[in-house]
Structure 1
């Protein structure tokens, strides 16, 4: 008698994400921020007249000043940021995710939530497909139970419907202050929808995550009948796979991914490929490199 293996739970690891540019928040945190403060790295010495704070007077630097000025230590300011996931829940996102213990999208989103809260930042989620989903909006929070909540809910909701109109409307829920926004989607959408999605996020630092499946991009039979189904419309089609069609299919998949990266770079940084499963080490390397 075999027992079904229970899912181990959401990934729990630190991720080296950072905001391009300086944060503008007022709450203390780990990110370089605009202005000076007391919780960051040492920047330089300035005159006491420029920074009238006697607590930070450096006696050694003051004695060495040939002009006899009083020198004060100035530190960079560190602030907290908001980290959001904007998730596409259209029907095409369900491919390869249903009835799996290791849902890559749920694992990714939960890992981001865990890293943000552990890093003293706030995490939020906006998820929708063709229509807005108020039940999938999580305001920016530091609540410790959020990673488990996100992981459980997303494993039960793979996506349905056609289009991302609801997601485009739901983005208005994002704060106006610059945030780090992970956009998670397969990006199987018309160019105008893609431009509309990324264009609305112009004030934020955007990290695209492209959800892909090797089953439709590389693990194709060289010959034989295959049945295809559009997950957004339900339309089915029987296709005779042959060598020429397979090569054209793969070439179009590569061309589409290259075109996506050109669009992503025009909005800030390239995308990360989430293929079949969530690889925490690969994602951490991508973030550490700055996505370049």
Structure 2
């Protein structure tokens, strides 16, 4: 990426925790958003005395203004680094994911959030794990690790690795980006998402343009399965082209239905990451 890309993200709920940040929080503290009046005895801060409210109070007692504190949100990104993510025409899907993580690191730093990363292929990639931390160069470091990584082995599924990675975040409140091409069976994905029920999960579907539509020229197409390493030759008849497009549309519908019942929709990335589109996604999600 040329320069530091940035996008703006928001949560659909109030953030918990007491670490000051830029997101609307649910904890009382030194904020600007008025929450209620409280007794000075319970909230001993004379600087927030409200004389008018105290005079109008039914009971003779001093009242202070209690505000909600803006809070920081821990941000986690779970990245699929399986064999299929190493496919791409102009750049691999994993490189696109790295571009996103780099932009996410800069965006999180700008608003005071910590960023951590987990990764998986056929199993959880502990070598790519980094706990959430705050710093200007965190996104660059994580992006570099992704660009330099290789898949341990070809495999036909990544759900077991995702389950182990997600279990690390079970029960935590966080903003979680799940980055994958989702080229594996989705039947058990809801059980994995149940582990992240306390988090706000943003599914990012990274596809390459060559996967979405069949090539326009030529009738014979040599195909390599990135997951299983199998090879075959396809005769691109009109019926094959139709089934290709139908399969893409069907997978889009499956992903929309699966995440839709959980109150979110996938964000699709095709060949390159667009930070402005990511900002619009969050604006539309909470509108």
TM range (shorter): 0.7 to 0.9
| Counterpart check, 1:27 vs 2:19 | yes
Comparing 141-150 with 54-63, greater Cα deviation is found at: 54-63
User: Residues 47 and 69 of structure 1 are in contact (CA less than 8 Å); yes or no, is this contact kept in structure 2?
Assistant: yes
Tell me what 2:71 maps to: 79
Q: Could you say if the C-alpha distance between residues 26 and 239 of structure 1 is closer, same or farther in structure 2, counting changes exceeding 3 Å?
A: same
User: Residues 202 and 266 of structure 2 are in contact (CA less than 8 Å); yes or no, is this contact kept in structure 1?
Assistant: yes
CA RMSD across the alignment: 2.6
Tell me what 2:196 maps to: 201
Comparing 118-127 with 198-207, greater Cα deviation is found at: 198-207
Q: Which structure 2 residues correspond to residues 69-218 of structure 1 after superposition, within 5 A?
A: 70-96=62-88, 103-157=95-149, 159=151, 161-162=154-155, 163-164=157-158, 165-174=160-169, 176-218=171-213
What is the deviation of 1:61?
A: 4.6
Tell me what 2:266 maps to: 271
| Counterpart check, 1:229 vs 2:224 | yes
User: Residues 97 and 103 of structure 1 are in contact (CA less than 8 Å); yes or no, is this contact kept in structure 2?
Assistant: no
- C-alpha distance in structure 2 between counterparts of 1:192 and 1:86, whole Å: 19
What is the deviation of 1:115?
A: 1.1
Secondary structure in 2 matching 1:228: strand
Comparing 139-148 with 270-279, greater Cα deviation is found at: 139-148
Q: Could you say if the C-alpha distance between residues 199 and 16 of structure 1 is closer, same or farther in structure 2, counting changes exceeding 3 Å?
A: same
Tell me what 1:8 maps to: 2
Q: How many residues align?
A: 283
What is the deviation of 1:286?
A: 0.4
- C-alpha distance in structure 2 between counterparts of 1:40 and 1:154, whole Å: 40
Q: What is the TM-score normalised by the length of structure 1?
A: 0.87
User: Residues 24 and 177 of structure 1 are in contact (CA less than 8 Å); yes or no, is this contact kept in structure 2?
Assistant: no
What is the deviation of 1:274?
A: 0.7
- C-alpha distance in structure 2 between counterparts of 1:97 and 1:151, whole Å: 19
Q: What is the TM-score normalised by the length of structure 2?
A: 0.88
